[in-house]
Amino acid sequence: IFFDTSPQAVRLYLLYNHLFMQTLVYVFIIINLALALFEDPAVVPLPIWATSTIEIICLSAFTVRMVHYAKVIPRDEFWKDPKNICIIVIVTLSFIDLTIYGALKATGYFAIRWSRVLRPLLLVNVTEGRQENLKLRRAFRSIRNALPQILYVFLLFMFSVLVFSLMALKLFGKRGLLTIDGSPYFADYLDIVFDLYVLVSTANSPDVMMPAYNYSFFTIFFILYIVINTYTFMSFFLAVVYNNYKKYLKEEVRQLVKARRFKMCRAFSLLQETWGEGGEPVVTQAKWNHLIKLVKPNISIAHQELLWSVLDDQNKGHIGKFAFVQLADLLSIQVITVKSQPHPIQICFPSMYSSSVSRFIRYVVHHRMFVYVYDLIILVNAVFIGLDEENPLVSNAEWGFLALYMLEIILKLYATEPRAFFARHHFWNWFDIIIIVSALFGTIINSALKHSGGYTSRQILDIVFILRVLRLIRLVDSIKRFRAIINTLIKIGPTILTFSQLIVVVYYIFAMVGMELFKGKVQFFEPNSTSPDQEYCGNPLLKGTTFAKLNYCKNNFNNVVSSFIVLLELTVVNQCGFTAVTHVSARIFFVLFHIVVVIIIINIFVAFILEAFLVEYTVDKSDLQKKIEELELNVQQDGVDTGLVDAMTMNWIASRRSRTVDGLLQRMFETDLRPEGFNEEEEPENIKKKHVNI
Amino acid sequence: IFFDTSPQAVRLYLLYNHLFMQTLVYVFIIINLALALFEDPAVVPLPIWATSTIEIICLSAFTVRMVHYAKVIPRDEFWKDPKNICIIVIVTLSFIDLTIYGALKATGYFAIRWSRVLRPLLLVNVTEGRQENLKLRRAFRSIRNALPQILYVFLLFMFSVLVFSLMALKLFGKRGLLTIDGSPYFADYLDIVFDLYVLVSTANSPDVMMPAYNYSFFTIFFILYIVINTYTFMSFFLAVVYNNYKKYLKEEVRQLVKARRFKMCRAFSLLQETWGEGGEPVVTQAKWNHLIKLVKPNISIAHQELLWSVLDDQNKGHIGKFAFVQLADLLSIQVITVKSQPHPIQICFPSMYSSSVSRFIRYVVHHRMFVYVYDLIILVNAVFIGLDEENPLVSNAEWGFLALYMLEIILKLYATEPRAFFARHHFWNWFDIIIIVSALFGTIINSALKHSGGYTSRQILDIVFILRVLRLIRLVDSIKRFRAIINTLIKIGPTILTFSQLIVVVYYIFAMVGMELFKGKVQFFEPNSTSPDQEYCGNPLLKGTTFAKLNYCKNNFNNVVSSFIVLLELTVVNQCGFTAVTHVSARIFFVLFHIVVVIIIINIFVAFILEAFLVEYTVDKSDLQKKIEELELNVQQDGVDTGLVDAMTMNWIASRRSRTVDGLLQRMFETDLRPEGFNEEEEPENIKKKHVNI
């Protein structure tokens, strides 16, 4: 690929890749998405000219960005990428829609903002090289790849539903049975298909079979249906999604590792020199150190030496190609450097810090019983939290507990060197301090407010309560078995973020469609309102329905926030009272939502958790991690041997966790990645694209 | 182990292992389990003396069987086996319970038949060497092995539920919110814990959050709860169960294969002779043929020769140890021998059968279009089935369709040799004939009844309808992609039987407990009854509850059949209206049921389907299967070369399926099983036990 290397072009390129510009694009995307809050039907209504102006600004920003990108990369590269074409189409359509909508509204006609459905697709298609976005695209690609297989299972599943429905029609249709509403039971074929489809989501579980069951022992029909469709086919969907997810992920990681190794081989051939006896080409330690300094400017010398000693395990002063290529994997292992320095108090008041009382305190704090005692305190605290707040004894006890927790933090700070205590990997220390200190402030503000004016702020009290309860989570960390599960949970955290993005994209699209279909059909009245419409959610069609009876009026599509909440409820249990207020064909909306979210997205989520959990439980540590841990052990043992634990100046802890999800993935498939060697010849396909982005 | 080899002991042993005796034990177990139908609360009430007598007979039979078993195997072996002790304890406890119950009932006291809970355990513990029972025990063992890990995740999950409940208590308890029933919302800690636990099973999904949502945007609490507990933790449970299931299954199969190979090695050392040049020990073809005839008396010579040619691929006339050991694997591959003989009509009327008209008919029937035309007919038929039966056009069309289907069968029979057509592996041919012929008979009987007395039997009509709908399933077989999924379904079939046994054991125990707790609390009235109690299921406590409103009265524990149906409903969606009619503590019953069935058993079911599906989609054919298929191909090609397709006397089809589930499992883990060689030295542990059973 030919790049223009004139200073002007390079400046343009650097400007394009500047973090500020990238962030700006995301800000505009978020503003564009958030417009749904202010557009009709709105949470906070704004006039049309205001929202339109903001949208025009956003769309212009995207246009400018695209033009900028087109200038930066060669023309044919630009048009070859479907992402760019997608963005251009979305922006153009949005402009057209905005114009039509504005014109129709100005002349008083009815108009639909249909282009809002396209907005979240910008989030998917904008590739600013951020890792988060790459993951989102990866999730989408993995869905796209699984689609054909899912389709086959889905068709068979639908065939099974259709055959069962036909059987139900023949068996129950002519029997004159009535549902609980008094309408004929299983008399219309399409109704049956829908009812049986909903049965798969278990939403209408016993209701749909009760008339048949009351009539006679026809339940065997439903038992068969549930076993085949609800359990077997739903497991099939999971199996297909899981299988594809695994396969595709493996392929992606393989490509990534291949590209990385290829680049490392290139680097090696640049740096190599032939060692002594005309043998293999090698890289010397000096050159290697120089390279590391370039790649990671803020690496500590100790860390650098550790890495070298892992690679050059025979202390030859140079490494071969095989060891050199491992560098990238090595850098992805998180190595925590703990400098065990003397405690500041020890420096200021050496005699006091080494007195027998002080030493006893430090001994106690580091003792296992200290943890147990505080676990017990937390348990007692849990009981007190559950008791009635109004009781003066309970509210006073809270001060006692706060004091105890503060004491714990102070003692720990006294016994541990502050920099070590606040090290980045000590998650629970940070957790403790934030929770306790905020609770302390909250409680003080709350009681100050109470004493001054007798007024209690509900918001502050809520926060204080939540902080108190969160304190209990600490208990989990004390039990080793739980820690493994918690670690999996924490590791899954970032991926849950990716999934929430995915969910937002899908929810946003469905919310936009849902709002156009159902807005204003269901009204919510404040509980203390006296309107007679309250009983049936302001829509006479809902009179006497279970939807109104169960007080579901706030489950509506009247604005984007409540739409999201309704969609969440539909994800958990697919209830569709909305078909009562519009046409029966609105069911298509709910069935589509069920297919997309429950059958595909939730299964991908389950597949990810399944895989992550299995890896955590079954994959061994990689060779490099093992080597580092061995070395670490040696260093620590050296310290013990010379009785210098306290004075030891350097201590490495090789974290059991790989730094990134990619590292985890690589570990997942390490056995499969081994065989393919370090051949420089075949250049992976996606490297070309990488050149452009980097 | 020392065995008594006196003729008397051997006769006793043979009697013990006689198929009749084994079947008898199963019959007694089933009678014992079926007693629940006749005991109070009964479907068909029988007097106590009758059921007691039957139970005493059953228990005596088990006792006799145990005594017999104790005579057959050495004393210390007998007492070492926990299964035997378990059976003795169960039988003893049942006798004691029966005596106490009889005495109490005779004197008019209140009594509980608590030992009925133990009955299904007999099914688990009786090991009569049947494969079905082994699988059931395997499933139970795999659950037992997964329990500790499930427990840890469950404890963490419960911790999370408890912490969320405490937070809910603090956030909502004092706000004075009301539920839809008008009771205070989230005011009692234990109620909250239960409500949030039920939310995990999604049964009370939007209801439990509606008051909080109506009040303000506190839904974020529920969203977090659902993401963490309903989705993440439930996936964790699946992951743990799946992981253990896979691990344990692998270990079992490894043991099995090891034992088999060990035995094959022993057989080899008995049969071996040193070949010619003082080289390796080998087995000659003559000896091998003799062995095969002993093992499988009804094997065809062709099949035997095929097997030999697979093992002795260099035509040396003898095989080494490696090839010999493969015999067991080889025998588990289903080889179908198709003798393509001339058609009987060809023999009787050779000139007619080879006339041009006859040849044209045969050409048409074997043509692909023939299948397409009949698929189209089925589709049209589907539309007709959906239409109204009363319409004379529709009911007459049915005769037309039946005629068309009969014609298809006759044509196929004309074009294909009958023995080949009715071969055991031609599932769809059998399916067709059974469905069509029964439908024909049904329709004839139905219309005969109608014409004679104008009376239509609902039962016959139902059967005719079902048969008609089942006909449509044939469509699926025409599409190749679907066939793979259908094959997985068919392969899973036998395992679903094992799971249904497992489910019966668990359901039976819960049904017995549920009947003692809830019998008679909820009454069902026939729909046309005029009793005023009908509105609240005969229990004033249910007045105005949703349970009564939704007409759930037939969901009761009043007899064992309805108990099973209620438990099935609880499996799908855990609804617990029953707590209203007894004490709140009855919730424990429902929570326990959810834990056992949904968290453990359903997950094992999903794990099995997941694994079976993944294997079907990813595992290649085993080496031996490939070899057989190559040979088959050669045979077929030979036939083509000499232009003797019709006259070819022999044709092998190596089925793509392994014969047993064990074969499938072995294929699953084949890669892992390869490395461990054929060492004769180490005897697997479970072989010793095998000696006793075999």
- Residues of chain B in contact with residue A489, where contact means CB-CB under 8 angstroms, are 232
Report CA-CA distances (Å) from A123 to A29, A59, A592, B241, B331. Answer: 7, 13, 22, 37, 58
User: Who wins on pLDDT, B317 or B165?
Assistant: B165
* Helix or strand holding residue A102 (H, E): helix A82-106
The pLDDT confidence band at residue A664, using thresholds 50, 70 and 90, is low
How many helices (H) and strands (E) would you count in chain B? 33, 5
Report the CATH number at residue B361.
1.20.120.350
Q: Is B9 on the interface with A (CB under 8 A)?
A: no
Residue A602 C-alpha, separation from nearest chain B C-alpha, in angstroms: 8
B458, B467, B481: best to mutate for the A interface, most A CBs within 10 A:
B481
A88 and A14 both lie in a single domain:
yes
The fraction of chain A above a pLDDT of 90, given in percent, is 11
Distance from CA of A109 to the nearest CA of B (A): 34
Partner residue facing A610 (CB), from B171, B238, B569:
B238
Domain co-membership, B118 together with B147: no
Taking CA atoms, what residue in A is nearest to B171? Answer: A462
Q: Is B166 in the same domain as B219? A: yes
Choose, out of B601, B606, B616, B668, the residue to mutate when testing the contact with A (most A CBs < 10 Å): B606
- CA of A461 vs chain B CAs: smallest distance (Å): 9
Q: Is residue B43 included in any domain, yes or no?
A: yes
Question: Which residues of chain A have a CB within 8 Å of the CB of B572?
Answer: 202, 205-206, 226, 230
Q: Measure CB to CB from residue A554 to each of B214, B488, B618 and give the nearest one.
A: B214
A166 touches chain B (CB under 8 A): yes
Q: Are residues A11 and A105 in the same domain?
A: yes
Q: How confident is the model at residue B620 (pLDDT cuts 50, 70, 90)?
A: low
Closest residue, chain A, to B604 (C-alpha): A235
Residues of A in Cβ contact (< 8 Å) with B475? 159
B88 and B178 inside one domain: no
Quote the CA–CA distance of A603 and A345 in Å, as a whole number: 55
Q: Which residue has the tokens 């080409």?
A: A281
Å between A199 CA and nearest CA of chain B: 10
Maximum CA pair distance of chain B?
98
Instruction: For residues B491 and A232, give the distance between their C-alpha atoms in angstroms, rounded to a whole number.
Output: 13
Q: Are residues A611 and A516 both part of a single domain?
A: yes
Query: To 10 degrees, what angle do helices B48-72 and B7-16 make?
Result: 140
What does the alpha-carbon distance between residue A89 and residue B310 come to, in Å, rounded to a whole number? Answer: 62
Task: Identify whether residues B353 and B473 lie together within a single domain.
Answer: yes
Mind telling me how many Å the CA of A617 is from chain B's nearest CA?
A: 9
Place of tokens 């509850």: B545
pLDDT digits (tens, 9 = 90+) for A553-588: 888 888 888 899 889 888 887 666 677 777 777 888
Checking if the pLDDT of B576 tops 70, the result is no
CA quadruple A461, A462, A467, A468: dihedral, nearest 10: 70
- B333: nearest Cα among B614, B622, B135: B622
- Closest-CA distance of chain A to residue B300, Å: 39
Long-range contacts of B157-163 (CB under 8 A, 24+ apart): B157/B229, B157/B233, B157/B236, B157/B237, B159/A475, B159/A476, B160/B228, B160/B229, B160/B233, B161/B193, B161/B196, B161/B197, B161/B200, B161/B229, B162/B193, B163/A469, B163/A472, B163/A473
Is A2 within a domain?
A: no
Q: Is residue A478 part of a domain?
A: no
**Arithmetic mean of pLDDT over chain A:** 78
**Three-class SS state of A109:** coil
Contact present, B346 and A149 (Cβ < 8 Å): no
B523, pLDDT greater than 90: no
Predicted local confidence at residue A675, as pLDDT: 42
- The pLDDT confidence band at residue B265, using thresholds 50, 70 and 90, is confident
* Residue B204's pLDDT band (cuts 50, 70, 90): confident
Both A433 and A328 in a single domain?
Answer: no
Predicted confidence at residue A60, as pLDDT, reads 94
- All residues of chain B having their beta carbon less than 8 Å from the beta carbon of residue A575 are 205-206
Residue B339 has pLDDT above 80, yes or no: no
Residues A613, A494, single domain; the answer is yes
Q: Looking at residues A157-176, what average pLDDT do you find? A: 89
Which pLDDT score, from 0 to 100, does residue B158 have?
93
- Among the ranges given (A282-296, A624-638, A648-662), the one the predictor scored with the smallest mean pLDDT: A648-662
Taking an 8 Å cut-off on Cβ atoms, the answer to whether A524 and B214 are in contact is yes
Using CB atoms and an 8 Å cut-off, which of residues 477-536 of chain A contact chain B?
481-482, 485-486, 488-489, 492, 496, 524, 527
Residue B687 confidence (pLDDT) above 60: no
Contact B24, B61 (CB under 8 A): yes
pLDDT bucket at A54, cuts 50 / 70 / 90: very high
Q: Where is the domain boundary, B198, B227, B251?
A: B251
Does A169 touch chain B if contact means CB atoms closer than 8 Å?
yes
Q: Between residues 569 and 608 of chain A, which touch chain B (CB distance below 8 Å)?
A: 569, 572-573, 575, 602, 605-606
Q: Which of B233, B251, B269 is the last residue of a domain?
A: B251
Count of domains forming chain A: 5
Collapsing DSSP states into helix, strand and coil, what is residue B317?
coil
pLDDT exceeding 70 applies to what percent of chain A?
Answer: 82
Residues of A in contact with B527 (CB under 8 A): 214-215
pLDDT over 90 at A158, yes or no: yes
- Please tell me the distance from the alpha carbon of residue A102 to that of residue A80, in angstroms, as a whole number: 34
Annotate B527-540 with DSSP letters as a single string: TT---GGGGGTT-G
Are A159 and B466 inside 8 Å of each other by CB?
A: no
- The answer on pLDDT for B273 being more than 90 is no
Overall average pLDDT of the B266-285 stretch: 74
Residues B243-255 have pLDDT tens digits of: 888 888 778 778 8
The answer for B 606-625 residues in CB contact with A (under 8 A) is 606, 609-610, 613-614, 617-618
CATH code at A411?
Answer: 1.20.120
Could you tell me the two tokens for B654? 């190596």
Cβ pair A152:B614 closer than 8 A: no
Q: How far is B125 from chain A (nearest CA, A)?
A: 27
Of B243, B386, B488, the CB nearest to A169: B386
Average pLDDT over residues B474-478: 80
Q: How far apart are CA A390 and CA B599, in angstroms?
A: 39
Q: How far apart are alpha carbons B47 and A684 in whole angstroms?
A: 81
Extract long-range pairs of B475-482: CB within 8 Å, 24+ residues apart. B475/A159, B475/B375, B475/B378, B475/B379, B476/A156, B476/A159, B477/B428, B478/B371, B478/B372, B478/B375, B481/A152, B482/A152, B482/A155, B482/A156
Q: Tell if the CB–CB gap between B468 and A170 is shorter than 8 Å.
A: yes
Mean pLDDT of A333-355: 72
Q: Pick the last residue of a domain from A601, A618, A635.
A: A618
Predicted confidence (pLDDT) at residue A683 exceeds the cutoff of 80: no
In a domain, B624, yes or no: no
Interface of A with B in 315-344 (CB under 8 A): none
User: In which region does residue A666 sit, left (phi positive, over 0), alpha (psi from -120 to 50) or beta (all else)?
Assistant: alpha
- The pLDDT of residue A157 is 93
Strand-pair category, A273-274 with B651-658:
unpaired
Binned at pLDDT 50, 70 and 90, residue A55 comes out as very high
Is B206 in Cβ contact with A239 (below 8 Å)? no
Q: Give B-chain residues touching A171 at CB under 8 angstroms.
A: 462, 465-466
Q: Does B391 touch chain A (CB under 8 A)?
A: no
* Residue of B489, B549, B565 lying closest to A219 (CB–CB): B565
Q: A32 is in which domain, residue-wise? A: 7-128
A389 three-class SS: coil
Q: Looking at the structure, do residues B115 and B42 belong to the same domain, yes or no? A: yes
- How many angstroms from the chain centroid is the CA of residue B303? 31
Q: Is the pLDDT of residue A504 over 60?
A: yes
- Reported confidence tier of residue A617, pLDDT bands at 50, 70, 90: low
Bridge-based pairing of strands A651-658 and A333-338 is antiparallel
Does any domain span residue A113? yes
Say if B78 falls within a structural domain.
Answer: yes
**Residue A507 and residue A597 share a domain:** yes
User: Are residues A119 and A18 part of one domain?
Assistant: yes
pLDDT of residue A454: 62
Task: Taking residues A526-530, report their average pLDDT.
Answer: 73
Specify if A108 maps to a domain: yes
> Does B210 contact A550 at a Cβ distance shorter than 8 Å?
yes
ipTM: 0.82
Q: Which residue has the higher pLDDT, A654 or B426?
A: B426
Contacts of B605 in chain A (CB under 8 A): 231, 235
Look at A189 and B481 and tell me if their CB atoms are within 8 Å. no
Per the domain annotation, does A517 fall within a domain?
yes
Structure tokens at B112: 């509980």
Candidate from A277-281, A352-356, A439-443, A644-648 with smallest mean pLDDT: A644-648
Q: Which positions 203-262 of B are in contact with A (Cβ < 8 Å)?
A: 205-207, 210, 213-215, 217, 219, 223, 226-227, 230-232, 235-236, 238-240, 242-243
Residues 6+ apart with CB under 8 A from A566: A514, A555, A556, A557
**Confidence at residue B154, expressed as pLDDT on a 0 to 100 scale:** 92
> Which of A209-223, B149-163, B221-235, B609-623 is predicted with the least confidence, judged by mean pLDDT?
B609-623
Distance from CA of A466 to the nearest CA of B (A): 6
In chain B, which residues have their Cβ closer than 8 Å to the Cβ of A462? 170-171
